[in-house]
Structure 1
Amino acid sequence: MRVLILDPFHGAAGDMITAALLDCGADKDIVVRAMKAVVAEPKISRVTRAGIQALWIETKALPVHRTLDEVLERLDAATPHMPEPAMAMARRVFERINTAEEEVHGGHVHFHEVGADDAIADIVGACTALHTLEVDRVHILPVTLGHGTGTGSHGTFPIPAPATAAILRHTNLATISGIHVGELCTPTGAALLAEFQAAAGAPGELPAYTIKALGYGAGTRDPAHAPNVLRAMIVETTGTTGGHPEDTVDILETNIDDVSGEMIAHAIGRFMDAGARDASATPIVMKKGRPGYLIRVICLPETSTQIAELMARELGTLGIRCIPSVHRFIAERTVEEIDVEIAGTRKKLLVKLGWMHGSVYTLKAEFEPARELAAELGIPVRDVLRVVEEQARRQIQS
């Protein structure tokens, strides 16, 4: 399993998260293109913070006060320049911030520091960077908040800032104050970490792992007593139980009979975007002989409460059953490039392999690359999938 571990031991801000992910191997060209769509091209440089080398991102923009709708309009400008899942995540980050601001200040709030173009660019950059890393899970270590007071557009505030505290209240993120005076975790940083955890799922206790990539994102300050950096690691887990990896999940269920097929399909997509491992709708006969659907969502225990609330909002249901801590078997899997030749065209396409006792027992061609090749060649996608899998089997067995 490919896991991103974020270690905000000196706090978290949007620019630090983006920089750490870039230093850990995120696609710089794609990230910079997305950020440029919001503000001028960011300056990315390597700096030293208390002896640790790290990437530093600087985006220049004037302070602006905006509503959520105005921020989303700014995001619209970046839509053609970033992957759709990353854009959807960026919108959810700002929805988290908006919810927190409304809790603190009441309705019809204006974003202040987090509404400036540089903050929008940081969120766009971080979400795009996470997308390009293609990780299976995100594991976030305790977030250092700092202590004391700070100063912002609303005057002097306690640390953590009220919006930061409101965002963290709706998560399972562990936090500590730390020994350093000042604001170490910003609302932008808290919202990004919260969304990363919800979207990619915190695995709880990690099994043994090997470190594949390491990166540091620098903050602006450079105190002598501690490195002002956020660390990111890409790791491959190696832990197994009974010879095969295991996962612990919750199963959420509800019966509905008054929601259209279009709304069910939309809701299932929302559940998957929110970090569900699987979601399905099964036709059933309910009490009094009424036809309906059983909606079943499989998710991590860490995200079950949030996804249950999402199920209630999207489906309008008044009750959701939770079957907690169900263990499921997970085959070891890899994704590999296979050289294939179809209709005189040679391509490298991706195939997902399932392993058991050191041997491949199942394989499946990745659909999207096969669909693109089918469109390019003008042949049915099922033919491409069949040829890719046949050639993959021959290559693996040879």
Structure 2
Amino acid sequence: MNILLFDPFNGAAGDMIIGTLLDLGADEEPVRAAMRSVVGEPTIERVDRSGIRAVQVKTHAPVDHRTLDEVLDRVAGSDAPVPARDMARRVFLRIHRAEEAIHGPGAHFHEVGADDAVADVVGACTALYSLGVDGVAVLPVALGRGFAIGAHGTFPIPAPATVAILSASDLQTVSGNEERELCTPTGAALLAEFSTVRSEDLGSRTIRAVGYGAGSRNPAGRPNVLRSMLVATAEEATGDRVDILETNVDDVTGEALAYTIGCLMEEGARDASAIPLVMKKGRSGHLVRVVCRPDATDSLVGVMARELGTLGIRCIPMVHRSVAERTVEAVTVAIRGREWMIDVKCGWSGKKITSFKAEYEQAAACARETGVPFREVAGAVEAAARRVFVERGVLAP
């Protein structure tokens, strides 16, 4: 497997993550386009940090604080690929949960709601997507120590938001040797979202490439950089590691089940389902099953307990999941005399497409606006996709 391994020995921030991924080989033009679409043209250049050449990224963004909805709207309207936009959305939901845990419900973003943070998150997610790795691992994150000044006045380092984000992940930390903030909330949220493999589970590996991302400061005698490595491991099966959460319920309405499944997906579940079953004494019930990344287990267990009132949730930890290669292809289709461009999610085996499906939200928006039934819109999109894929030779006639 090709694994991206982050080594945040001197902490991490959003701009450092973009820089190290670009230095590692991420495609620069999509990253520029994604960042440009939310703020403006970034500056990307090579600099020296204590003798180490590293890539520095500057967004040149104004400091405008925004609400969660405003931030998510900017992410949704960006030119990042759909999977990168989805990942960026999850990053900001992580940050929002941390902000609310500290400041209470309805909390506004502060430093992490500024435009430069939006550009950093969108750019970092696009860079990761372009690398196409099989998994991501993170070595212990250096946090720093001391005190700093923020929107609420003086705060301890690491910042409360950083601590809250990391406490909801399985990332390991170290204090570091500097009296300053080494890991920012944005950096913590990105690393937590990216991580799919525990670094201690990697075993032996071969380093294939190394990248360095520069921080804005250049202290004497210490390289202010984030290192990343592309490593090859002995495991050949493609996929990732997931937890499976299960519970049986017999006193929950269909509406409550539907609402709970929606909440679980919003909280980062990979999949969530409710399966009808017959329980003891012949009672009808449901098996609620959730597939999630290990770092999301605790928060999703909380959702299940809160919404379902269940007293016990089974956790089957760290199951290997084989994952087909997936891409998103844009297809143009005519609906009621108007051309629509709708994404189609494709599954691949080798160089052939094995499955494809119209993206639900886009097809639903088309159906609502045109008055055409959703099933007809989805059918038209998938028929158009089939013609395109057959012509390309990636789908059997």
TM-score, scaled relative to structure 2: 0.75
| Residue of structure 2 equivalent to 1:141 | 139
2:279 aligned residue: 286
Q: Deviations over 1:51-84 (max 9, x none)?
A: 1111100111222222222322333432xx1222
Write the mapping of 1:1-398 to structure 2, written as runs, cut at 5 A. 1-78=1-78, 81-197=79-195, 200-202=196-198, 204-239=200-235, 250-256=243-249, 258-259=253-254, 266=262, 273-274=268-269, 276=270, 281-287=274-280, 289-299=282-292, 301-312=294-305, 316-325=308-317, 352=349, 365-368=353-356, 375=384, 378=387, 387=396
Q: Which amino acid is the alignment partner of residue 314 of structure 2?
A: C
Deviation track 1:198-220 (CA, whole Å, cap 9, x = no partner) reads: xx343642122222332111101
4+ residue runs over 6 A deviation: 244-248, 333-336, 371-374
- Asked if the contact 1:137–1:202 (Cα under 8 Å) also holds between the matched residues in 2, the reply is no
Aligned length in residues: 352
State the Cα distance separating 1:90 from its structure 2 match: 1.6
Q: Secondary structure of the equivalent of 2:198?
A: coil
Distance 2:76 2:325 in 1: 33
Specify the code of the residue in structure 2 equivalent to 1:251: I
Whole-angstrom distance in 2 between the partners of 1:202 and 1:187? 20
**Alpha carbons 2:68, 2:109 under 8 Å: kept:** yes
Counterpart of 1:47 in structure 2: which amino acid?
Answer: V
In 1, the alpha carbon distance for the partners of 2:324 and 2:229 equals 19
Asked if the contact 1:301/1:324 (under 8 Å) is kept, the reply is no
Amino acid across the alignment from 2:62: L
Q: Whole-Å Cα distance in 2 between the matches of residues 26 and 132 of structure 1?
A: 6
1:225-258 residue CA offsets vs partner (Å, 9 max, x unmatched): 2111111122221158xxx899876432123453
Query: Which deviations, in whole Å up to 9, do the C-alpha atoms of 1:7-42 show, x marking residues without a partner?
Result: 111111111011111222222222211111111110
Tell me, in whole angstroms, the C-alpha distance in 2 between the residues paired with 1:246 and 1:269.
20
AA paired with 2:50?
A: A
Superposition CA RMSD, Å: 3.7
Q: Name the SS of the counterpart of 2:56 in structure 1.
A: strand
**Aligned equivalents of 1:51 and 1:255: distance in 2?**
58
**Structure 1 stretches of 5 or more lacking a match?**
337-348, 354-362, 389-398
Distance 1:386 1:189, change over 3 A: closer
How has the CA–CA distance of structure 1 residues 322 and 377 changed in structure 2, closer, same or farther, with 3 Å as cutoff? closer
The Cα of 1:296 is off from its aligned counterpart by 2.9
* 3-state SS of 1:4 partner: strand
Q: Any conservation in 1 of the 2:244–2:319 contact (CA below 8 Å)?
A: no
- The structure-2 alpha-carbon separation of the partners of 1:351 and 1:162, relative to structure 1 and needing over 3 Å to count, comes to closer
Question: C-alpha displacement at 1:159, in angstroms?
Answer: 0.9
> In terms of mean alpha carbon deviation, does 302-311 or 258-267 score higher?
258-267
Distance change >3 Å, CA 100–CA 386, structure 1 → 2: closer
Identity of aligned residues (%): 50
Deviations 1:367-392 (A, max 9, x none): 349x99973563898xx77739xxxx
Asked if the contact 1:139/1:202 (under 8 Å) is kept, the reply is yes
8 Å contact 1:250–1:322 — kept in the other structure?
no
Task: For residues 258-298 of structure 1, give each alpha carbon's deviation from its aligned partner in whole angstroms, at most 9, with x where no partner exists.
Answer: 33586687578558x54x4x765543223454544323335
* 1:72/1:351 CA distance change after superposition, 3 Å: closer
Q: Distance in 2 between matches of 1:247 and 1:154?
A: 40
Query: For residues 291 and 105 of structure 2, what CA distance do their matches in structure 1 show?
Result: 34
With the length of structure 1 as denominator, give the TM-score of the two structures. Answer: 0.75
Q: Is the 8 A contact 1:14 1:192 kept in 2?
A: yes
Change (3 A) 1:379 1:299: closer
Q: Is the 8 A contact 1:279 1:298 kept in 2?
A: yes
Q: Match for 1:322: what amino acid?
A: R
Partner of 1:18, secondary structure, is: helix
The unaligned stretches of length 5 or more in structure 2 are 327-345, 358-378
Please say which of residues 288-297 and 184-193 is displaced more in the overlay. Answer: 288-297
